[in-house]
Structure 1
Amino acid sequence: MKTKMTKVPLLLLAVLLFLASPAAAEIKSLTISADTRPMILFEKFGFTHTGWVNIRVSSVSVTSKVAGDPDPSHLGFFLLSEESLLQVLVEIQQNPHLCVLESHYISRLFDFQHLSPPPSSSFNQSYPVTAPNEYSLFFANCAPETTVTMDVRTEVYNLDPDGSRDYLSAGLTHLPSLFSVFAVAYLAFLGFWIYLCYSHRLSTHRIHILMAGLLLMKALNLISAAEDKHYVKVTGTAHGWDVLFYIFQFLRVVLLFTVIVLVGTGWSFLKPFLQEKEKKVLMIVIPLQVLANLASVVIGETGPFIKDWVTWNQVFLLVDIICCCAIIFPIVWSIRSLRETSKTDGKAARNLAKLTLFRQFYIVVIGYLYFTRIVVFALKTIAAYKYQWVSNAAEETASLAFYMVMFYMFRPVERNEYFILDEEEEEAAEMALRDEEFEL
């Protein structure tokens, strides 16, 4: 029985390390109330050779259902690198009664033996981290049937050559500059799009105005992200920029999914209205994005130390997958509708051009979703902690490329693929459509 009970917190530890990413703010103050968890993950941070950890604990209360006081050496904080995780798992599997605080592969910071005596029960100490690596800061409770209540303030940072503190993880310290560069790129893109719409006013539709709004929200989202990371880097907290970041992120994601659905249905520039099933897609996607944004806020602003953190991660992933699948249906419906229309309306060339365009758009959307959901995640997983910014750069580059391709395909122009009237092209298109129907 004890062996099984030991494996549970070890499995939880592995899951937390896998899911957790460096937190948004590196100064945290929180209250742990009557908590019985054997392992609590507070921070995940990439340290240079000048790293520091400060832990301040106060108002500590420990109660046990077992007779006698719990061993204070079995409750405490430690650092663990991902490289050492497997060694710790093997070590404890070989000795199920071993407390993780007694492992040879952790960096033990302090245990409750160092607490000042009641009623103050407090502790405040800073520890240098001289071995560069990505470490996770854990609290371990190896005392059986013991609950812990305490106020905890953690502070992790690296020292720059000038002696100033850098509260961003070693792999994320370049993010303020990275987001600023992409924000400028999107603002330039927005200016060009406005110029293009103004120059082709007769061909500009409501969808093009909505697309301009998407570019604006994306630029504002990146500006707030850059400021958020800058203030975290300098001060350890976001100073309210995280609120703006989540607002613009929500508006940006809702607009992005809405634009993909509307473009995929041909709304505004092919037809002035949406069918009932297309409206239902929007009615599903938008509320789900509200839920996804709520989950994103909980994940980003709290951390693995809350009891339902893993659940919120699962909710976010599930909702994101549902939305990604839902926005594909309108494009498929448009392709199917064009195939049916091409048999009856006598405009083969125009329908073939539309069909080709929507197929290309379908491939572009699938490629974008695949890259940002799978490839970017893989980069986050395999990249060394010093290069965590690479996954952010890859995601933003892919997003910018997707926006540029989508906007180019559906740009406002007087004569485009929808208005092919050449007779020879018409005959060739009819043959192509017949061949395609025969192959299907």
Structure 2
Amino acid sequence: KPTEAPERKIRDLIFFVDLKLFNSDLHLNFFRFAHGDLSLLFAFSFDLSFVSFGFSEIRFTEIRSDDRAIIPFDEFGFTHSGLLKLNVSQIALSNPDPDLDFSKVGFFLCTPDAWMHVLQQLEDREVTCVLNSDLVKVVFNFKSLNGKSNFDTVYKESDADQYTLVFANCLSQVKVSMNVRSAMYNLDGKKNTRDYLSAGRTILPRVYFLLSLIYFTLAGVWIYVLYKKRLTVFRIHFFMLAVVILKAFNLVCEAEDKSYIKRTGTAHGWDVLFYIFSFLKGITLFTLIVLIGTGWSFLKPYLQDKEKKVLMIVIPLQVVANIAQVVIDETGPFAQDWIAWKQVFLLVDVVCCCAVLFPIVWSIKNLREAARTDGKAAVNLMKLTLFRQYYIVVICYIYFTRVVVYALETITSYKYLWTSVVAGELATLAFYVFTGYKFKPEAHNPYFVIDDEEEEAAAEQLKLEDEFEL
């Protein structure tokens, strides 16, 4: 609870950071606190769907008339040979009064664990400004400007850990405008080269490239299957091939994107191709799940109106989700609208994941009713079983990639953040393989080649089976 101080102005701040709270890894969405002479004010909001920001390339940022007390920039995992290059130009202060203590304005590095102790120091009034804490590593404070409007500094970090570059302004009457160019990297001792990827992500280019080779191999296998069983191929099978190929190209572009960032700090245009293929892959994947769920092409040649409405919802939402993802990746937590875009992305992603389940549920319901009325119990039972399995697998895939992978990223040390990426990609690969195997073209379609004994057994099973509950 805040100390009652009606005569004082409480300024709200927003700062995103990963915290370990009471030995439990909890992801803090945001908190507000007062600075200066004010007591600490907490307002926690936990969101298990929120992912931590992790930008590592050279970044140029424009800050204009900003009075936020805390502006987080980039998060980076340093090794024992880490460096931060900070170039700040066109600095303009709304109140350049020389009597003000500008040592309370500047940049600092802080680990997630240390930040929790800094908050405690502020609450206990051991310090009146974040920059006065001995737990943060001050990179530069504005007292050293001496009337200049720019500065360049290089900060060497020998303590291996995950750090966040933060700008602090403990002077409530001062608004700051500036251009900030930040570059964080690790030095490779053997080759004496720069690595602009965080310590836990430096292996990702090789991971993505290896996965792309696996998907290209899958595409080749699928083409061979379609050729061998071309007499029983449906349009949905070609759509599945397109999804696999787009996924493979998406991984290639992501591998090149991360590879260029690793060596130079910038993407050199590969990020544009990555966004394009990511956009196409996202739309086609969700559309494929909807089409398979409806039984389009291999069970029925057309879509019902309600199924078309699902597609009309999913596709535009995927467009919005990809736009939000681009904004999130290309800006950062320093942008004042970054929070809103992040929330839009999470909301749209959840809605899409829920929407694609409805066609599968409708198909299960229709097959259940058909199995009891049309006399083809065995045929419909096999279809029903397959759609049940697919429904469960889709649920598991969504849950794993949206929740389990996030939890793994949260509890894993910064040195092994690549493991959460590998886990998510392996889950996606398993989902693709399962979908292709279960819905592959068959020369002797098991849906229609059923003898009398199997049909009677299936009919008995339907009579004894309880109603399927979702």
Q: How does the TM-score come out when normalised to structure 2?
A: 0.89
- Distance in 1 of aligned mates of 2:468 and 2:151: 75
Q: Which segment is superposed worse, 87-96 or 173-182?
A: 87-96
Give the stretch that moved more between structures: 344-353 or 10-19: 10-19
Deviation at 1:435, TM superposition (A): 1.6
Structure 2 CA distance, aligned partners of 1:253 and 1:147? 41
User: For residue 154 of structure 2, what is the amino acid of its counterpart?
Assistant: S
Compute the displacement of 1:438 (Å): 7.2
Q: State the alpha-carbon separation in 2 of the partners of residues 10 and 335 from structure 1.
A: 46
Percent identical across equivalent pairs?
51
**Is the counterpart of residue 34 in structure 1 residue 34 in structure 2?**
no
> In structure 2, what residue type is equivalent to 1:21?
F
Residue 164 of structure 2 corresponds to which residue in structure 1?
A: 136
Residue equivalent to 1:329: 358
Structure-to-structure mapping, 1:406-421, within 5 angstroms? 406-421=435-450
* Structure-1 residue corresponding to 2:454: 425
Shift of 1:70: 3.6
Confirm or deny that 1:210 pairs with 2:251: no
* Alpha-carbon distance between aligned partners in 2 of 1:367 and 1:301, rounded to the nearest angstrom: 30
Aligned partner of 2:104 in structure 1 is 74
Equivalences for residues 33-432 of structure 1 within 5 A:
33-64=64-95, 70-95=100-125, 98-118=128-148, 121-161=149-189, 162-432=191-461
The yes-or-no answer on 1:15 pairing with 2:29 is yes
Question: 1:299 aligns to what SS in structure 2?
Answer: helix
Whole-angstrom distance in 1 between the partners of 2:292 and 2:180: 50
- Matched-pair contact (CA < 8 Å) for 1:59–1:150: yes
Deviation at 1:421, TM superposition (A): 1.7
> 1:419 Cα deviation (Å)?
1.9
Cα contact 1:116–1:123 (8 A) shared by 2: no
CA contact (8 A) 2:235 2:297 kept: yes
SS in 1 for 2:429: helix
AA at the equivalent of 1:182: L
Q: After TM superposition, where is structure 1 displaced by more than 3 Å over at least 4 residues in a row? A: 1-8, 10-20, 66-70, 437-440
Aligned-residue CA RMSD in angstroms?
2.0
SS in 2 for 1:277: helix
- Distance (whole Å) between structure 2 residues aligned to residue 2 and residue 15 of structure 1: 27
1:120-159 deviation digits (Å, cap 9, x = unpaired): x110010100000000000001101321001111010000
Shift, 1:416, TM fit: 3.5
In 1, distance between residues paired with 2:155 and 2:175? 26
TM-score by length of 1: 0.95
* Residues 180 and 223 in structure 1, CA contact (< 8 A), matched pair in contact too: yes
For each residue in 1:264-320, what CA deviation from the matched residue of structure 2 results, as whole angstroms up to 9, or x when unmatched?
Answer: 110000000000000000000000000000110011111101001111111111100
Relative to structure 1, the CA distance from residue 36 to residue 207 in structure 2 (aligned partners, 3 Å threshold; closer, same or farther) is same
Q: After superposition, give the CA deviation of every residue in 1:225-250 in whole Å (9 maximum; x if it has no partner).
A: 00000000000000010111111001
Deviates more, 1:265-274 or 1:339-348: 339-348
Structure 2: stretches of 5+ with no match in the other structure: 18-27, 32-49
CA contact (8 A) 2:15 2:72 kept: no
Say how many residue pairs are matched. 436
Shift of 1:69: 5.4
Report if aligned partners of 2:296, 2:303 keep a CA contact under 8 Å in 1. yes
Asked if 1 retains the 8 angstrom alpha-carbon contact of 2:15 and 2:70, the reply is no
> How far apart, in 2, do the equivalents of 1:325 and 1:182 lie?
27
| CA distance in structure 2 between the aligned counterparts of 1:273 and 1:439, rounded to whole angstroms | 26
Q: In the alignment, which residue of structure 1 is the partner of 2:40? A: none
Query: Matched residues in 1 for 2:384 and 2:9: separation?
Result: 59
Instruction: Give yes or no for contact 1:70–1:146 (8 Å, CA) kept in 2.
Output: no
- Of 122-131 and 418-427, deviating more is 418-427
Cα distance in 2 between the residues matched to 1:271 and 1:422: 23
Q: Does the 8 A contact of 2:16 with 2:72 survive in 1?
A: no
| Partner SS, residue 146 of structure 1 | coil
Once residues 348 and 310 of structure 1 are traced to their aligned partners in structure 2, the CA distance between those partners, rounded to angstroms, is 53
